[in-house]
Amino acid sequence: MSTLKLATNALHAGHDVTTNGGTTAVPIYQTTSYVFKNSEHAANLFSLKELGFIYTRLNNPTNQILQDRLTAVEGGIGAVVFASGTGAIATGLLTLLKAGDHIVASSSLYGGTYNLLSVTLPRLGITTTFVDASNPDNFGAAVQENTRAFFVESLGNPKLDVLDLEAIAGHSKKAEVPFIVDNTVATPVLLNPIKHGADIVIHSLTKYIGGQGTSLGGAIIDAGTFNWANGKFPEFTEPSAGYHGLKYYETLGAASYVFKLILEGLRDYGAALSPTNAFNILQGLETLPVRIKQHSENALALAKWLEQQDEVAWVNYPGLESNKYKSLADKYLPKGQSGIVTFGPKKGFEAAKAIADTTKIFSLVANIGDTKSLIIHPASTTHQQLNTEEQASAGVTQDLIRLSVGIEDLEDLKADLTAAFSVL
């Protein structure tokens, strides 16, 4: 485990210049496969007698450096990268769960994740109870005999609710199920969920970590803390039919889940990250500590400014004194509250649409976490498939505008919004 600080790890972890040809930048290993020394070598790799690269769907040297770097910045024991955040979430859950299993999840989730849990996984016999995460006891109350995971976002997108991770972790420990935290919006710079009791951390690397809107990617970082031998996860203790009788927990101990994600999750579902995208995402990760600081500063200043504007009915940003999550933000996000701000214009739904259609620096985009500022009206776009009740529990009101505040000059961002307000 690295003893270096986060900003240093973000630049150096995983890249051994003595074995990578003395390169200062991480090389892109654009290859599908790796030459075996002989058939015995291949057999040893497949049977895990020796560790090494076999095929890029399973692993790749560029991806491995990204995995090691993410492990270092989140404080885990290992990581696996995927083609997208959604690929990470779907593969992560399908590697843990089977028909008949149950999840307890926060109702304030990214729209795609909400659909996976509420529509697609139930088709496979995996059900979810969604709870109001503002009361951690709701998680304990929703636990069933077949519950096998808790799933939350540390800073909900787009509700911006800051969760009391330690209190929820208390309930997951009592239920003896892994606590999975999607830390995409907060980023590892502002919050490390593992320090607050998370067993598994998930990221969409597409957002702040990649940071420049060029590449999709996702990751799972394992804290290595969960006891897979507690009787609830026989796939970890019994001989695996899917990997010639391997007993994961007996053979791999704390690293069981990381290996299962590769040997079964990536092998069978195939959501592998391209090495070129891993390289692009590594470029982003190197500057994440300075970027996220600027995103957070700009977002807080813009939120305070929005509160002063006549056209604005309400502003939601966890760093505002007026915010109901301010005390939780002080505890969990003391270094900054990231770059997402939501607000509602006094004139409601049509005005919100008009503002999103008018801004010039804020581009109308279904993404967050770009260095460039983005805007969207979720009720008419990203969240239109949800009914009004589902929209409300996801925190999406009819008038809500979501800003992903970039790192442009603050005065230009204010002027862009002022110009949009003037057309109302």
Ligand X SMILES: *Cc1c(COP(=O)(O)O)cnc(C)c1O
In the complex, the residues that contact ligand X under the rule CB under 6 A are 84-86, 110, 112-113, 153, 157, 182, 184-185, 204, 206-207, 216, 218, 368
Shortest separation between residue 217's beta carbon and ligand X, angstroms = 7
Residues facing residue 316 across a β-bridge: 342
User: 15 vs 196, which CB is nearer to ligand X?
Assistant: 196
Residues facing residue 12 across a β-bridge: none
Q: Which residues contact 345 (CB under 8 A, 6 or more apart)?
A: 311, 312, 313, 351, 352, 355, 399, 401, 421, 424
Shortest separation between residue 28's beta carbon and ligand X, angstroms = 20
User: 84 vs 371, which CB is nearer to ligand X?
Assistant: 84
Shortest separation between residue 369's beta carbon and ligand X, angstroms = 7
- The whole-angstrom separation of Cα 131 and Cα 64 is 36
User: 45 vs 219, which CB is nearer to ligand X?
Assistant: 219
| Number of other CB atoms surrounding residue 264 within 10 Å | 19
| Number of other CB atoms surrounding residue 286 within 10 Å | 18
Distances (CA, A) of 92 to 79, 201, 204: 11, 10, 13
- The token duo for 376 is 């969207």
Positive or negative: CA dihedral 323, 139, 367, 275: positive
User: 91 vs 157, which CB is nearer to ligand X?
Assistant: 157
User: 375 vs 420, which CB is nearer to ligand X?
Assistant: 375
Shortest separation between residue 211's beta carbon and ligand X, angstroms = 13
Shortest separation between residue 339's beta carbon and ligand X, angstroms = 12
User: 9 vs 382, which CB is nearer to ligand X?
Assistant: 382
Residue nearest to ligand X as judged by C-beta position: 85
User: 213 vs 218, which CB is nearer to ligand X?
Assistant: 218
Q: Which residues contact 172 (CB under 8 A, 6 or more apart)?
A: 139, 150, 178, 179, 197, 199
Shortest separation between residue 218's beta carbon and ligand X, angstroms = 5
Give the side-chain half-sphere CA count within 13 A for 27: 13
- The whole-angstrom separation of Cα 102 and Cα 388 is 25
Shortest separation between residue 52's beta carbon and ligand X, angstroms = 29
